[in-house]
Structure 1
């Protein structure tokens, strides 16, 4: 019962957080210098033209009225009309979301398959071993994405090596072709993510290995593999899951530099273009979507962590009583 009360509390906090984020998004977009009429209609636009544009896009009401109208429509899945393309924002997002989701899934898959085993290996070896893994992890954390991406673009453009640069294939033209077209940008994104997960996993494993229950398992004669599977991995999973939640939200928000380098029609570069044009509908919907994903993923990770370690929900329940 304590766990379910704690989980419901986390959902309530998430809903309040999302409401606060929506307020900040709306206020920040309205506070940006310049406006749609200044950038798109041009300096020669008359007051009548500006008033007509404001009426058409619902910008002529008071700020509370605009916010309430936008929030209610967004809750129904209606994010308005793009001021630049004159098409529904939901349609624009639906066209670009498959590329971003595929890119995120590929990058996270590489991160988990390489980063977690590498972190466990270097953690088990301790301070006296795993130097290669630590060096590679530090290198991956220190290299900017535009450096790695530019190097990959040069190498695969110059020598081919079986993969093309910038030739994104939509999912409906073949799932395998779509995945292969995003393999290079996903690998570039995975460099930093893998290094971060490996470092976090290593630190978590080192922290668990000094716990008394691990020493007791060694004293009972349990094998090293059994100790790692049944004692180390479960206790070290919580910080790793928390980091993966943050990375997944970051990737779904769109890695703009990588999308630009590889000419990937994802959400990140689309939001930057909307910001440049002061396209309120696109910016508000994009940031709200990224915030929703971030909050939802973190709530899911919190609930999973409460299942892995019941002490989390128990301590939280006691602190609220």
Structure 2
């Protein structure tokens, strides 16, 4: 297990470094320069060149990258070219927003998806067909359309939850949950459909296994057969899909954050790209990559615990 963990850690570090190199090169390959942004629209070429020299933009790429990497490793991503704010502090303030949405949506999707998928596999018949059709409909609906519909029905018509905005947990726990409710429900609907289908398929295969039939013959309680033995047999693909879903929610939250006016990393990425705020773009990429890599590492360890064969793959 230690050898497997060492391999995964080495791969994680390599992935983060590769992502930082790619983002660094893409920033330098884009049109414009930080000096042109800080000097202003009416700056002369000489003024732009002076700003680029001050910012170190005219140094060799290797020197620039190593300097940036050393600062980034200590949590210093520089300051924004647009407003001069510290990028690390800004991203750390936004990280809990995106993380909260992704975590809550993934957890709820896992709970409801597993329960629905197990029920469909065990009951079969009408229940199975209903889950199959319902999940297909949920997967066919765009998430932004689901969000707009929920805002109209729950926020505007029923006045049950706020349509937009975010309240920090430290300010008010109840308002924090209310501000996240609609975006989380929006993402949970699609996520539940994916997990339900995956669980249903895995459970149908698990219930046909010989050891499950033996447990039935020995008089093992049905609930224990379903939720302990069969579900553990079907757990590996479900865990994999949950991990992928969290990564997708964390990295693809731009539309949801814009729809519900949430100050998360997705909104920060869009603003940084739209304004050519190069240091902020690199900071967002690195933070997102680190979260994704950590998620993959945890996912690999969970899968290795569930199925020891994974360790030798």
TM-score, normalisation: structure 1: 0.90
Shift of 1:43: 5.0
Alpha carbons 2:80, 2:279 under 8 Å: kept: yes
Local SS of the residue matching 2:82: coil
Distance 2:239 2:289 in 1: 18
Shift of 1:260: 0.9
Structure 2: runs of 5+ lacking an equivalent:
none
Larger mean CA deviation between 128-137 and 281-290 belongs to 128-137
Shift of 1:128: 6.3
- Find the counterpart in structure 2 of residue 116 from structure 1: 114
Distance 2:94 2:179 in 1: 15
- Find the counterpart in structure 2 of residue 294 from structure 1: 292
Distance 1:4 1:127 in 2: 46
Shift of 1:210: 2.5
Within a 5 Å distance, the mapping from 1:133-148 to structure 2 comes to: 133-148=131-146
- Find the counterpart in structure 1 of residue 309 from structure 2: 311
Alpha carbons 2:34, 2:52 under 8 Å: kept: no
- Find the counterpart in structure 1 of residue 206 from structure 2: 208
Local SS of the residue matching 1:162: coil
Distance 2:168 2:179 in 1: 9
Shift of 1:144: 0.7
Distance 1:40 1:141 in 2: 45
| Matching residue within 168, 171, 186 for 1:170 | 168
Distance 1:247 1:40 in 2: 39
Shift of 1:133: 1.7
Does the C-alpha gap of structure 1 residues 219 and 85 become closer, same or farther in structure 2, counting only changes over 3 Å?
Answer: same
Local SS of the residue matching 1:45: coil
RMSD value over aligned CA atoms?
2.0
Larger mean CA deviation between 34-43 and 113-122 belongs to 34-43
- Find the counterpart in structure 1 of residue 182 from structure 2: 184
1:264-284 deviation line (CA, Å, top 9, x unaligned)? 111101111101111111111
Shift of 1:44: 3.2
Distance 2:79 2:54 in 1: 10
Larger mean CA deviation between 234-243 and 247-256 belongs to 247-256
Does the C-alpha gap of structure 1 residues 73 and 40 become closer, same or farther in structure 2, counting only changes over 3 Å?
Answer: closer
- Find the counterpart in structure 2 of residue 319 from structure 1: none
- Find the counterpart in structure 2 of residue 8 from structure 1: 6
Shift of 1:149: 1.2
Matched, 1:235 2:233: yes
TM-score, normalisation: structure 2: 0.92
1:87-129 deviation line (CA, Å, top 9, x unaligned)? 1101111222222222223212321221121112112234664
Structure 1: runs of 5+ lacking an equivalent:
317-321
Shift of 1:40: 6.4
